Amino acid sequence: MVKRNPHMAKLSGGYLFPEIARRKKALLEKNPSAKVISLGIGDTTLPLTPYICSALLDAAKKLGTKEGYSGYGDEQGMTALREKIAKVLYHGSADSDEVFISDGAKPDLGRMQILFGADATLAVQDPSYPVYVDGSVIVGATGPYNQKKQQYASIIYMRCTPKNRFFPDLAAQPRTDLIYFCSPNNPTGAVATKQQLKKLVDFAKQNRSIIIFDAAYAEYIEEKGLPKSIYEIPGAKEVAIEVNSFSKTIGFTGVRLGWCVVPKQLVYEDGSSVHKDWNRITTTIFNGASNLVQRGGLAALDAEGLTEMKQTVDYYKENARIIKTALDALGFETYGGRNAPYIWVRIKGKKSWDAWSELLEQKHIVTTPGAGFGPGGEGFLRFSSFGRREDVLLAVERLKRDKL
């Protein structure tokens, strides 16, 4: 018999979204005619836009010709796309050979956990996107379990609440090797200011830590002066990797395309290069993002593509505005929803899974319970703005009415 990877048993009860799906299914079995509206999972609903979609079609057609066919490409991605991302999105603050094209930010985060391995200690914002902790647990980066704290020694939860305006008190944090940081944040919708990110970069420098900065929602930032990339902070290239994705900007959640930036200045304590190791990981266990899909990424960064991207992002942001306005009018304490597609809502006097179930049972609306994002999410619900407009409007009507 095969022994189970012992780290798998350390994962806490099931991944959040399968649990939500299970409970939703249970409701539908009880009440088959319920029209359930999902403001839960962060999955896009708008179709691909015309210019980007036609680039995908053209790429597929080319692959069907003798002249246009190509097999394996560079594992790091097409040079043209790496260059275009460096130029259009980083305006020179990242070199093209620091940009690695991937099949999405989540798989990249998983490979990064393999890169840093089981001995790495890490800090996450609490609440946070579940992959940072769960992926680290899978590779064994836990350290011993502290029964009293009910936490693993290698994983530090940096509490982010309305009280500290969702930015952790860094002075109170112990040193860790890695610091996962997501801004605009999933789930809270909070966006770190330049000043805050500078504090984070300084903290990482002092501690000789590496920041893994998740900028998946950078394009949702509309307020001038709010940083879209960690590299807007001087010196960040010495301490930070950035991951990003085409998922939430052009609806590539199913198509799959992302990238990360691993700066050449980034080194381990022995002076060796993180960039080189990342290149080794990429060439060894990843064979590159789909060539066809990378053509879609190239199109997305043309002027026409960028216009379509903005339209897509604006649509979801308008949804966010509608949801937030309705919740505010109902007297809820809400956060986010402005430079981010998520609205973080305090539920007074209730556990978040209980509030979540009530909303599902009484209004047939699926949200996401805050507790699923870490202990700091208890007492909150996350509303996602990625639904179709008609569903968002219907959900808002239901919220306003006492009964269905």
Ligand X SMILES: *Cc1c(COP(=O)(O)O)cnc(C)c1O
The residues of the shown chain that bind ligand X, judged by CB under 6 A, are 42, 104-106, 129, 182, 186, 214, 216, 245, 247-248, 253, 258
> From the CB of 248, what's the least distance to ligand X, in Å?
6
Beta strands, E only, 143-297: 145-146, 151-152, 155-159, 178-182, 210-214, 240-245, 258-261
The C-alpha atoms of residue 199 and residue 190 are separated, in whole angstroms, by 16
Based on CB atoms, which residue is closest to ligand X, 129 or 356? Answer: 129
DSSP letter string over 321-376? Answer: HHHHHHHHHTT-EEEE-SSSSEEEEE-TTS-HHHHHHHHHHHH-EE-EEGGGG-GG
Q: Which one, 127 or 379, has the nearer CB to ligand X?
A: 127
- Least distance (Å) from ligand X to the CB of residue 137? 17
Smallest gap from Cβ 182 to ligand X, in A, equals 5
DSSP state of 85: I
Residue 183 or residue 363: which is nearer to ligand X going by CB? 183
Q: Which is nearer to ligand X, 193 or 253 (CB)?
A: 253
Tokens matching residue 225: 């002066």
Find the farthest-apart pair of alpha carbons in the chain and give their distance in angstroms, rounded: 65
Alpha-carbon distance of 56 to 63, in angstroms, equals 11
Q: How many residues are present in the chain?
A: 404
DSSP state, residue 253: T
DSSP state, residue 267: B
> Measured between alpha carbons, how far is 216 from 31 in angstroms, rounded to an integer?
36
Comparing CB distances to ligand X, the nearer of 258 and 377 is 258
Least gap, CB of 247 to ligand X (angstroms)? 3
Is residue 225 within 8 Å of residue 197, measured between CB atoms?
A: no
For residue 215, the minimal CB distance to ligand X (Å) is 9
Comparison of 231 and 363: residue with beta carbon closer to ligand X: 231
Q: Give the separation between CA 61 and CA 54, rounded to whole angstroms.
A: 10
Using left for φ > 0, alpha for ψ between -120 and 50, and beta otherwise, residue 150 falls in left
Question: At closest approach, how far in Å is the CB of 257 from ligand X?
Answer: 8
Write down the least CB distance from residue 18 to ligand X, Å: 16
Question: Residue 4 and residue 138: Cα distance in Å, rounded?
Answer: 12
Q: What's the closest the beta carbon of residue 402 comes to ligand X, in angstroms?
A: 33
**Closest CB to ligand X among 258 and 379?**
258
With tokens 């609806």, the residue in question is 251
Nearer to ligand X (CB atom), residue 84 or residue 248: 248
Q: Could you give the 3-state DSSP secondary structure of residue 50?
A: helix
Nearer to ligand X, 134 or 202 (CB): 134
Nearest residue to ligand X, by Cβ distance, number only: 104
**Which DSSP symbol is given to 88?**
I
Q: Shortest distance, CB of residue 319 to ligand X, whole angstroms? A: 16
